[in-house]
Structure 1
Amino acid sequence: MSKIDKTPDEWKAELTPDEYRVLREKGTERAWTGELLNNKETGMYECAGCGHPLFTSDTKFDSGSGWPSFFSPVSKDAIGFHLDTSHGMTRTEITCNNCGGHLGHVFHDGPQPTGDRYCVNSISLKFKKS
């Protein structure tokens, strides 16, 4: 897979200001405000920055956290993992492995079969109905 490498100006021309803030500047959207939080349709969740497939609807669950949550990515190489020590916490940031866009964080308090909770900013995702 060839990775996407764009300048900040190129990203700003393609993304909305809110998408840019979250995907490129590692921002977050307020809990309970995301467009895809309560989506129950069948399909694929893709990176809003580049369209790379990230999660399938059958791995989405209601975590009660206020952000869309998934227990597994579509493939092991879809997501990048990075140590995040911002805001006085130690967490694992997740990014799109294709464009490097910030998605959210992964926690190890999710349901089986993985026990993981990929907590994702809705604005980082686009949904493609199947």
Structure 2
Amino acid sequence: MKISAVLIVLTLLTGCKGVSQEKDMVKNEGQKQSKSFKVEKTETEWKAELTDAEFYVLRKAATENPFTSELLDNKKKGTYVCAGCGTPLFKSDTKFDSGTGWPSFYQEIEGNVGYDVDYKIGYKRTEEHCATCGGHLGHVFEDGPAPTGLRHCINGVALNFVED
């Protein structure tokens, strides 16, 4: 009887998935795969071409402070392009005031924005990057307006605006 009880306990313990395993899974899923992009430069080349703030956000995946972007209240018609390589990312007619302090859009220009999973703050988020140069843009959330229901929450320093 004692042997049966010990075997049952051992079977249960070995069959259970531990919390430490979950953390390893999350850690591994959150690591970026090495990707190649059409525009690739060395860190020195990026530093020479970008401002300190642009470099920090685009190349080091930082987040600018909310309500600091000059593009936050921009109401002009045009296109928001990557500050690193000039790739068109968002049209002005998809921009909306999310109240978050960062420029927000409900739709990207298809094919010009790439996505990764990000666990940097302890839970899963969808990170956005320029599909041409890999520059970090921000994150996309599912709490935006119709027609997509998405909120592309973008660091303004990662963008330049080209007026129509």
Is residue 74 of structure 2 the alignment partner of residue 39 of structure 1? Answer: yes
Quote the residue 1:74 is aligned against. 109
Q: Which has the larger radius of gyration?
A: 2
> What residue in structure 2 maps to residue 101 of structure 1?
135
Normalised by the length of structure 2, the TM-score is 0.77
Instruction: Tell me the SS of whatever aligns to 2:60.
Output: coil
Aligned residues: 128
Residue in 1 that maps onto 2:146:
112
Consecutive unaligned residues of structure 1, counting only runs of 5 or more, are none
Moved over 4 A (4+): none
Match for residue 123 of structure 1? 157
**CA deviations over 1:38-95 (Å, ceiling 9, x no partner):** 00000000000000000000000000110000000122x1110000000222100000
The Cα RMSD (Å) is 0.8
2:18 corresponds in structure 1 to none
How many angstroms does 1:106 deviate by?
Answer: 0.2
Distance 2:52 2:68 in 1: 16
Please state which structure has a larger fraction of its residues in strand. Answer: 1
Residue matched to 2:60: 25
Structure 2's unaligned 5+ residue stretches are 1-36
Query: Structure 2 CA distance, aligned partners of 1:126 and 1:21?
Result: 16
Q: Give the structure, 1 or 2, with the largest relative contact order (CA under 8 Å, sep 6 or more).
A: 1
Structure with bigger helix share is 2
Determine which of 66, 88, 93 is the counterpart of 1:58.
Answer: 93
Separation in structure 1 between the aligned mates of residue 67 and residue 85 of structure 2, nearest angstrom: 24
